[in-house]
Amino acid sequence: MSAHRSSTVLITVAVVLVAVATVVRFVLAPNATKLPDDTDQTVHYAGEAMMLDSKALQFGDTAHALKSGIPITVDRRLQVTSTHGDTAVLKDATTIHLGKQSLPSVKTYALDRESRRGTSPPASKSVEPSRGALSSAFPPDAAQDNSYRYYDSLTRSIVPIRYTGTAKREGRAVNVYTITVSAPVKDPAVLKPLPPALPKRLVTKLRPELGSTARARLTPAALSALPNPVPIAYQGRSTLVAYIDQQTGIAIDQTVSRTVVASTTVGDEPTSLMPVSSFTFGVTPASVRELGDKADSAGLLLTLLTDVTPLVLLAVAALLLIHLLQRRTRRPDAPASQKPALGESTTT
């Protein structure tokens, strides 16, 4: 192979390596951070609940109307059902198990596959109104600040997400975010079984079981002035703490506290009466380990695509070019037999 041809091959290989490194870093790596179109993940939680016993309430047994300390398990499945360019339609299905009773809840979101924020849905798709807010997932390399917002399906409200620092989960660095919600319940599935009003006699009988503020306001005169039946509104109060893997955005751990409180208006003052339901639960240790393993695998892939592979390809290309330059600048001396003798003419 001639020197010229060898140089051409080296330059071509170096250019191809640089091109491949560019594609890996700026095309494949960003695509790897998008919400995958085959996402299908189930996370398990465990905790306890407090529930209003409607039968006890119906029969006037107000002392036993609230049952607390009920063990629960929770299954949450996140599944991308379709993708439309950079938009993913995600089904978020949660089922709470209380003994033999199951409480299912299914929500559908249109998410930007890169930012994970709610976006406009594809035509003919009905989704939750979460535009601009996170609902089911954080993006990779999530910002360590208070710039994110959260969509709460119970109240259909969008609230700030507060960044509260860093921690470790399964040996990985995580960002900790806290979400606090307090707003009227607007989820039709939650409101449907709840009574819009209660008989005044039942509210009167409930008074000894209520909190101090409600008891102080529900004086005999105030009770007498209430309409019959007494209109009831419902307030949703939630606190979520999420431990988000810094590199991949995977929620390795999470705690959830969610309460629905019945309230009414007493003397023009909104007054909380009693909780209708309260659920407190966290990710099970087994699911935390599984999510940690998933973050390890996803993190390794991102490291390979973002850093290792492009750097190796660029390093090889640089070595080839350095070798070529060294070879071109090398000028060997002419052989001694071809050098003219001292004082001898080079012409005949």
Omega before 270 cis (within 30°)? no
The string of pLDDT tens digits covering residues 88-121 is: 999 999 999 998 899 999 999 999 999 999 999 9
Contacts of residue 213, defined as CB under 8 A and 6 or more positions apart, other chains included, come to: 271, 272
Reported pTM: 0.82
pLDDT score, position 239: 98
CA distance 36 to 77: 15
pLDDT the model gives residue 104: 95
Query: What is residue 334's predicted lDDT score, i.e. its pLDDT?
Result: 47
Q: What pLDDT was estimated at residue 47? A: 98
Residue ranges of the chain with per-residue pLDDT less than 70 = 1-4, 10, 14, 17, 20-21, 23-31, 54-64, 305, 307-308, 310, 313, 317, 330-348
Alpha helices in the chain (DSSP H): 3-23, 29-32, 54-58, 188-191, 200-206, 212-217, 220-225, 285-303, 309-329
pLDDT tens readout for residues 187-221 = 999 999 898 998 898 888 888 888 899 999 999 99
How far is it, in rounded angstroms, from Cα 29 to Cα 307? 9
Structure tokens at 328: 């071109």
d(C-alpha 152, C-alpha 129), whole Å: 10
Hey, CA dihedral for 134, 137, 141, 146, is it positive or negative?
A: positive
CB 89 within 8 A of CB 127: yes
Tokens of 284: 């099970």
Which residue matches tokens 């503020």? 213
